């Protein structure tokens, strides 16, 4: 695993509903002064447009503010530094993660940057968190989740809880993002835990 002071987080956004999770994750990582290296698949671009009205990818469109801590990477560029195990980063989160992306990672495919970077995470034993967003699940999904878990990845289903009495969709998104930040061992103050 890279040094714990490494503040680079790779965020892959694949073609599943739940773009709000990715946007809120990027927002909080930026606020916490982490560097986000973002890879967006072609289907994810369509979903970002449909769910959030984002038609042109930029730090401004993703964060609603300018930031020098967010870097966009071309999913078709396998010569990008993220494709190499020698480029260190702390962890990778695929959020949301489609069943197609899940299956591709489970099969060891690496023909796009998001898949190659996930492959690097597993082979370098770096944290890989996959926020799967699909329901119901097929036996194929479950088998793929088991393969990834056995290879060292973490499956974090996009399943927000209701015990904190959410009052809005952003509240539900915050619950999931808080869980992701917990898995990244990043301190935050989102309301995701039972209170004494």
| 120-129 mean pLDDT | 98
Q: What is the pTM of this model?
A: 0.95
Average pLDDT, the chain: 95
* Residue 136 near residue 54, CB atoms below 8 Å: no
Q: What local confidence, expressed as pLDDT, does residue 164 receive?
A: 86
State how far the alpha carbon of 110 is from the alpha carbons of 58, 75, 104, 118, 126, in Å: 25, 11, 8, 8, 16
- Tell me the percentage of the chain whose pLDDT exceeds 90: 91
Give dist(CA 188, CA 151) in Å, integer.
Answer: 28
Domains and CATH numbers, the chain: 8-183 (3.40.50.1950)
DSSP string, the chain: ---TT--EEEEEE-SSS-HHHHHHHHHHHHHTTPEEEEEE-HHHHHHHHHHH---S-SHHHHHSS--SSEEEE-TT-TTSGGGSTTS--SEEEEEEE-HHHHHHHHTT--SSHHHHHHHHHHHTT--EEEEE--SS--HHHHHHHHHHHHTT-EE-------TT---SHHHHHHHHHHHHHHHTT-----S-S---
| 65-87 mean pLDDT | 97
| 59-76 mean pLDDT | 97
Q: What local confidence, expressed as pLDDT, does residue 186 receive?
A: 96
């Amino acid at each position: 695993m890279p040094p714990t002071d490494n503040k680079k987080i790779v965020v892959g956004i694949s073609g599943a509903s739940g773009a709000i999770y990715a946007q809120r994750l990027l927002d909080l990582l930026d606020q916490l002064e982490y560097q986000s290296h973002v890879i967006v698949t072609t289907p994810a671009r369509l979903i970002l447009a449909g769910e959030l009205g984002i038609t042109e990818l930029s730090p401004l469109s993703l964060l609603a503010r300018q930031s020098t801590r967010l870097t966009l990477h071309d999913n078709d560029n396998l010569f990008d530094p993220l494709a190499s195990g020698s480029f260190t980063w702390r962890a990778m989160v695929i959020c949301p993660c489609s069943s197609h992306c899940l299956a591709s990672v489970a099969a060891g495919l690496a023909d796009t940057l998001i898949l190659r970077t996930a492959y690097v995470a597993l082979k370098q034993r770096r944290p890989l968190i996959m926020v799967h967003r699909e329901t119901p699940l097929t036996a194929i999904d479950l088998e793929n989740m088991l393969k990834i878990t056995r290879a060292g990845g973490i499956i974090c289903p996009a399943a927000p809880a209701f015990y904190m009495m959410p009052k809005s969709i952003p509240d539900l998104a915050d619950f999931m993002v808080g869980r992701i930040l917990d898995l990244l061992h990043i301190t935050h103050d989102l309301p995701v835990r039972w209170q004494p």
